Amino acid sequence: MEDLIAVLTSWSVQFIAALVFLYVLLKVFKRVRYAGGKRPPGPPSLPLIGHFHHLLFGLPHHSSAKIAEKYGLIVWLELGAVRVVVVTYSDIAREVLKTQDHIFASRRPLIMADMVFKRGQNLGLSPWDDHFRLFRKIFTTELLSQNRIDSSKDFRRQMTLRTLRTAFEEGHGNRYINLADLSHNQFLYLTTRMLFRTDGHAQNKDLLEITHDFISAGGLVIEDFFPLLKSLDLSGQVRRLKNIGERYFKIMDSIIDNRLKENSNSKSNTEEDFLDVLLATSTFSRVQVQLLLLGIIVGGTDTSADSIVWAITELLWHPNIMERLQRELDDVIGKERLVEKADLNNLEYLQAVVKETLRLHPVAGLGVPHYSTEATKVAGHNIPANTWVILNIYAIGRDPQDWENPLKFDTSRFLNSPVDVRGHHYEVLPFGAGRRRCVGMNLALVCVAYIAQLIHACTISLPEGLTHLDVDVEEKFTLTVARRDPLNLLMKRRLPLDVYRKAGLQFSDV
């Protein structure tokens, strides 16, 4: 027995000694590799996992903001096998996204890109290469051009009417409605309508499910940081993502087959949608068409929907701001018609509400990681090639160096101010900036301003017994930073019945 204990002890001692030796060797190796260069500061790291434990507790955009408070506005982290630089200050963001945009405009291959997007053959996850340039061009010139956004105004109108009908059916039956569910459904309807004209309920329901699964499976995939674990798939996320990809391709195959059949059978004069545009360009394979469309569904649905939920949350929390917005809407639009897209630019206070919402609640809190293609210096620190660069958009928008009383929802900051949210002012970057700036930004800004239609056409109340003081802003972090808890609301008609009827809304209860 004693012999056995002695053998075990000596084995475990040797094993631990080997680990320590490996760790020291790794550190020395890294020192030598980076000799002559000063990397950004960062907290002490643990063997093997580096700083990964910081991501395990709390929300990643909060944890990295806390690290920045202690170690500086540009921080070096080792997340398992991945080297990461986190930027939390507007001037450094400018250096990354403007001065050195050409070095940081790439993306690192991710498991999600592999499993679902077939090696990043879509826009958002594609590295900076010829494919990317081609994808980006078709998005900006064809799919999401201003003309196409304008021409989709009828879909948006239909979407508004559907939203109002659903909200009123529940509200006038004294039933609360979960605003996030309502908003996600409506945006998925709008997106799929723009992409491939479907409002076939069965397919939309499946797509909604797939989008939700994708969002919850895709947030933080542990195996991206520990590639050796990929084949073990301990978290089950690799399997989940693969399964989501398979389900999506099955639906899309049937949508594309039907479309090709339709197109060959008749010279139909239905309006051209994104699918038609992509099928008409011989540049893209069928898989690329499917992936480009999936990128829009994922990038465009929950982002806009969750931003609306944040805007309404803040308006309910600040009744004075809600009243002022309603007053502006009543003054400019009146009470005899609904808000239209053409009104949006005339609503100065509305625009301030939208910007302040995007500052305080940027749904892409940590953006999409950029990736350096060559070694460079940022803010005097050495950044090696092949390093992730994460912009903490959330913390930048709340930085007391740039914003007075930054945690306060204060619309006056954007009244009579040249600062906007389109990526020219680095202290507020909800859409990023530079070559990888959100390609759906113009559409998103129209969609988020859609809160005007809700605020103008509905009275919105909290559940009985709750006051504005009970509204909370707790978050959850998935692919978007969304409200953690449901926002259940009672929504009723605010305008004379005739106004809705004239707009084409029929009610069954009157």
Which residues lie near ligand HEM (CB under 6 A)? 123-124, 136, 144, 295-296, 299-300, 303-304, 307, 362-364, 367-368, 430-432, 436-440, 443-444, 448
Secondary structure (3-state) at 263: helix
Ligand-binding annotation for 438, yes or no, is yes
* Minimum distance, C-beta of residue 82 to ligand HEM, in the bound complex (Å): 17
Q: Are 297 and 204 in contact, with CB atoms under 8 Å apart? A: no
Q: How far apart are CA 52 and CA 60, in angstroms?
A: 10
* Minimum distance, C-beta of residue 122 to ligand HEM, in the bound complex (Å): 8
Residue 52 or 117: the one with the smaller Cβ distance to ligand HEM is 117
- Give the DSSP letter of residue 373: S
Q: Which two tokens stand for residue 12?
A: 């475990």
* Minimum distance, C-beta of residue 244 to ligand HEM, in the bound complex (Å): 18
In 3D space, the residue among 377, 420, 458, 488 whose CA is nearest the CA of residue 36 turns out to be: 377
* Minimum distance, C-beta of residue 397 to ligand HEM, in the bound complex (Å): 11
* Minimum distance, C-beta of residue 56 to ligand HEM, in the bound complex (Å): 24
Residue 144 or 458: the one with the smaller Cβ distance to ligand HEM is 144
Residue 72 or 397: the one with the smaller Cβ distance to ligand HEM is 397
Q: How far apart are CA 385 and CA 426, in angstroms?
A: 24
* Minimum distance, C-beta of residue 363 to ligand HEM, in the bound complex (Å): 5
* Alpha helices (runs of H) in 318-420, residue ranges in sequence order: 319-332, 348-360, 393-396
**Nearest-5° angle of CA 272, CA 156, CA 307?**
120
Residue 131 or 493: the one with the smaller Cβ distance to ligand HEM is 131
Q: Which two tokens stand for residue 242?
A: 């693969």
| Backbone φ and ψ of 489, nearest 5° | -135, 155
Q: How far apart are CA 307 and CA 333, in angstroms?
A: 23
Report the residue number whose CB is nearest to ligand HEM.
Answer: 440
Residue 171 or 295: the one with the smaller Cβ distance to ligand HEM is 295
Residue 448 or 499: the one with the smaller Cβ distance to ligand HEM is 448
Secondary structure (3-state) at 459: strand
- Give the DSSP letter of residue 370: E
Q: Which residues are annotated as a binding site?
A: 438
Q: Which residues are annotated as a binding site for heme?
A: 438
